[in-house]
Structure 1
Amino acid sequence: MENLKIKGRIWIETDSGLKIGMGRALLLEQIDRLGSISEAAKFLEIPYRRAWGIVKDINTNSAKEVVMKVAGGKSGGESRLTDYGKKIVEKFKTTQECFIKFSQDESHSFSGWE
């Protein structure tokens, strides 16, 4: 008897063209936690150039700023999520959790289906 499971990936989109999936949500979360795009890229083991491109794409395609850069003095600047950015990440995480629960619950309904 075959065991069927529901698998998939989700992302959220806005009318303005913003798309947030697991990778982007993780990047945004780390930027806010570490205060730096560079440090977030290192933590996630992705090239800085790629991380910067993702942030630029997110801010360009969002109706509101998601990542704000704060100019700094001697120690340099920092990057943080705006309140809007934090809401988007939280909404993605909540939706992801619901999807995982749904896929687990529905996968159980397939057991012994043959």
Structure 2
Amino acid sequence: MRGEGKFYLTDEAGRRIFGPGPAELLEQVERTGSLRAAAGKMGLSYSKALKILHTAERGLAMPLVSTEAGGLGGGGSTITPQARALLAWFRQARRAVEETARAQLDRLPRDSQ
């Protein structure tokens, strides 16, 4: 048996605005240099990835991806410095939640008979 904690940021109404999915999307944008390629690697449509990104940006009130329009040299996407800081914070916070869940599982009452 193992303990597992889920960590999401939500708005005041309880709607998820950031969690493992948006974090992975940002990581893929950083790796691929393209929101479209990142979406493809995750099995998402481009429009779904864009919706996830816009929801997170609105909810967090910060830009997460900057884009450069295509053309002769091609375009691309990069994550912002705020997104890099958010990802570092999110990874650390998620580890802390998982460690707490495991520690609580160790305290689970067991049948002593």
User: Is TM more than 0.5 here?
Assistant: yes
1:26-105 correspondence to structure 2 within 5 Å: 26-105=24-103
Structure 1 residues not aligned, in runs of 5+:
none
8 Å contact from structure 1 (residues 37, 79) kept in 2:
yes
Q: How many residues align?
A: 110
Secondary structure at the aligned position of 1:61 is classed as helix
Identity %: 24
Could you say which residue in structure 1 is the equivalent of 2:7? 10
* Structure 1 residue identity aligned to 2:47: R
Taking the aligned partners of 2:3 and 2:106, their CA distance within structure 1 comes to 9
Q: Which runs of 4+ in 1 moved over 6 A?
A: none
TM-score between the two structures when normalised by the length of structure 2? 0.81
Residue-by-residue CA offset, 1:7-59 (whole Å, 9 max, x unaligned): 331113578x9821011111111111111111111111111110011122223
Secondary structure at the aligned position of 1:80 is classed as strand
Structure number with the bigger relative contact order (C-alpha 8 A, sep ≥ 6) is 1
Secondary structure at the aligned position of 1:112 is classed as coil
* Aligned CA-pair RMSD: 2.4
Taking the aligned partners of 1:69 and 1:25, their CA distance within structure 2 comes to 18
Structure 2 residues not aligned, in runs of 5+:
none
